Amino acid sequence: MDFKSQKITLSIVSHGQGLLIRDLLGDLTNLTQNFEVIVTINIPEDESVFQGFPFPLYIIRNHNPKGFGENHNAAFECSSAQWFAVVNPDIRIHSFSFDVLLSPMQQKSVAAVAPIVYSAYGEVEDSARRFPTLFRFAKRVLLRHRKSDYEVQSEPYRVDWVAGMFVLFRREAFRQVGGFDSRRFYMYLEDADICYRLYKDRWQILVNPQVQVVHMAQRASRRNLKHMRWHAVSAIRFLTGL
């Protein structure tokens, strides 16, 4: 399959993170793939940093802040591209190819693919994980176990779910499961949930180790009580199905 002419939409949500996004957009100027960027302004900010880039860039302005899933679902509906990528503002792309990232999509059963994610210190982050269980949550929270559930392999490999910091979806699959569940998840674990629903519909989630990005981690849930509460509520909803 030739991916070069196929369009990709990148959805980025800004919570006053314009300067971070400006750096990411600067990275994207080096790419030759046919893509567009949709930036959702979740809270008012200076929009001048989003101007002057050589690719199509569209802005969605929210009157009131929305959650992760609701914002990306709205961007999806504004796009007609065959491939839909959810990208965090704090991602940096130094050497990257959408053609390579998309290569596993030649398998019709693949719903989503993600790159290897490195920290700013050059360590592989635990962006690919097994589906959450009470035991796994306890290890992460109480024992601070942050090691990846999967060993990095040389070829694309199947995983349960990938963190929403950077994940590219097949449009057909994203629409089939109704996108992110913004009713149950305001923020956190909506990425695990959509991957679980895709898994139940017999889709596959892959990590492609031939492509890498860097995550300049912001990790608000570790220092902000509101984010910690959102994280806890999402965990309970995921585990109980409420």
Query: Which CATH number belongs to the domain containing residue 88 in this structure?
Result: 3.90.550.10
Residues of the chain with pLDDT under 70: 1-2, 4, 137-146, 218-224, 227, 230, 234, 242
- Give domain status of residue 111, yes or no: yes
Question: What is the structure's pLDDT at 217?
Answer: 75
Q: For residue 202, count CB atoms less than 10 angstroms from its CB and return exposed for 0-12, middle for 13-18, buried for 19 or more.
A: exposed
Alpha helices for 9-58 (secondary structure H):
18-28
Question: What is the structure's pLDDT at 136?
Answer: 72
One-letter identity of residue 19: L
Residue 161 structural domain: 8-240
- Give domain status of residue 106, yes or no: yes
The structure tokens listed for 150 are 């999967």
Number of domains in the chain: 1
- Give domain status of residue 3, yes or no: no
Long-range contacts of 50-57 (CB under 8 A, 24+ apart): 50/18, 50/21, 50/22, 50/25, 53/25, 53/28, 53/29, 54/29, 55/28, 55/29, 57/25
- Give domain status of residue 1, yes or no: no
- Give domain status of residue 2, yes or no: no
Question: What is the structure's pLDDT at 240?
Answer: 81
- Give domain status of residue 233, yes or no: yes
Question: What is the structure's pLDDT at 132?
Answer: 82
Question: What is the structure's pLDDT at 50?
Answer: 96
Question: What is the structure's pLDDT at 142?
Answer: 56
- Give domain status of residue 154, yes or no: yes
Distances (CA, A) of 216 to 54, 101, 148, 203, 209: 24, 20, 18, 30, 19
